[in-house]
Amino acid sequence: MTTVAHDSPQNLDRATLYVVATPIGNLSDISARAIETLSRAGHIAAEDTRVTQRLLDHYGISARLIAVHEHNEQRAAGEILALLATGASVALVSDAGTPGISDPGARLVAAAHAAGYRVCPLPGANAAAAAVSASGFLSPHFLFYGFLPARASARREALSALAAQPHTLVFYEAPHRVAECVVDLAATMGGGRRVLVARELTKLFEETHVCALSDAPEWLAANAHRTKGEFVLVVEGADATAPDEAALDNTLAVLLEELPLKQAVALAVKITGGSRNDLYQRALAKKGE
C-alpha cells in the first residue's frame, strides 16, 4: 500500500477544509491524524461547540470553535470561506462520527468545493459502517438510508418503497421509535428477513443482535434497556430471502393440509429453521385465506 500524505504532521496544508471523523462513543476511536489535525487547525467548525469542547478538553487541544449546525450552515459557510481565503486551514467535525453522514457538513463542503478550496477527508468512526461490519450479511452491497420519517404512515411508505431492494439496508433510528420501526420493517419487508440490531456501538452497553425481523420486537421488549441508547438497524436485502419466503409458504401449505395449526408451525420451524413467530403469523394468514 502506498501512503501519500498531503500534509506533514507539523504543518497542515494551507486553505484546506479538513473533514474530520470523531468517535461515536469510545473516545479511543479517533485516529492519530485526526488528533494532529484538530491540534494544528486554528479553527474548528463544530455542530455543537459544547460537545466538541469536551472532546478537545479530553485530548488537551485548544482551538477556536465556530458553530456550524443545520440552522446556520449556509451563513457559517460564509465565515469559513473567508478564513480559507486568508490561507487558514479549518477542521470540520460533527457531534459524533463522520460529518455529512446524517449530520451537518455537506453544505459547507459544497461551498468549499464551489469556491475552489481543497477538501480533505479524515476517515474514522461511522455507526453505519460499524454496524454493517458486525452484521455478517453476505450481500456485497448496502444501501445507507439513515433516518426514516418519524410519522408512522410516512415511515411505512418509505419502507414499502425499499422492500424489493436486493441490497442490505441500513437505518438509523431514535430509541423511542425503534420498537415501532422493527414492527413496520417486518410488516413491509416480511418477518423472515434477518435484522441486525446494533445498539450503543463502541460504548459500555453495546449489543449486536441478529434475528428474524418478526422476532425483533420480542427481543427489544425482553429488557427495558434495549429501547434506550443509539441504534442502527441493518436489514437483509430482498434477494437474500426471496427463495426462503417461497419455501416457507410452500412447506406451511403442505403441513397445514395434514395437521392442526400448532403442529404444522412446530414442524415447519424444524424443517425450515425459520422464525416461530413468523411461521405462526403466516399460518394464521393461510388459515384465514
Note the residues at the interface with ligand SAM (CB under 6 A): 24-25, 94, 96-98, 101-103, 126-128, 172-174, 198, 200-203, 230-232
174 vs 285, which CB is nearer to ligand SAM? Answer: 174
Q: Kindly state the smallest distance separating residue 278's Cβ from ligand SAM, in Å.
A: 25
Helix or strand or coil: residue 254? helix
146 Rama sector, left if φ>0, alpha if ψ -120 to 50, beta otherwise = left
Location of C-alpha cell 463542503: 109
Q: Kindly state the smallest distance separating residue 32's Cβ from ligand SAM, in Å.
A: 19
Q: Kindly state the smallest distance separating residue 36's Cβ from ligand SAM, in Å.
A: 20
Residue number of the CB closest to ligand SAM reads 97
Q: Kindly state the smallest distance separating residue 168's Cβ from ligand SAM, in Å.
A: 16
95 vs 244, which CB is nearer to ligand SAM? Answer: 95
Location of C-alpha cell 420486537: 217
Q: Kindly state the smallest distance separating residue 87's Cβ from ligand SAM, in Å.
A: 29
Measured between alpha carbons, how far is residue 286 from residues 119, 244, 251, 253 in Å? 57, 17, 12, 8
35 vs 101, which CB is nearer to ligand SAM? Answer: 101
202 vs 227, which CB is nearer to ligand SAM? Answer: 202
117 vs 144, which CB is nearer to ligand SAM? Answer: 144
CA–CA distance, 230 with 221 (Å, rounded to integer): 16
Which residues, in sequence order, are CB contacts of 137 under 8 Å at separation 6+?
168, 194, 196, 234, 236, 237, 240
Residue 22 sits at φ, ψ, to 5 deg, of -125, 170
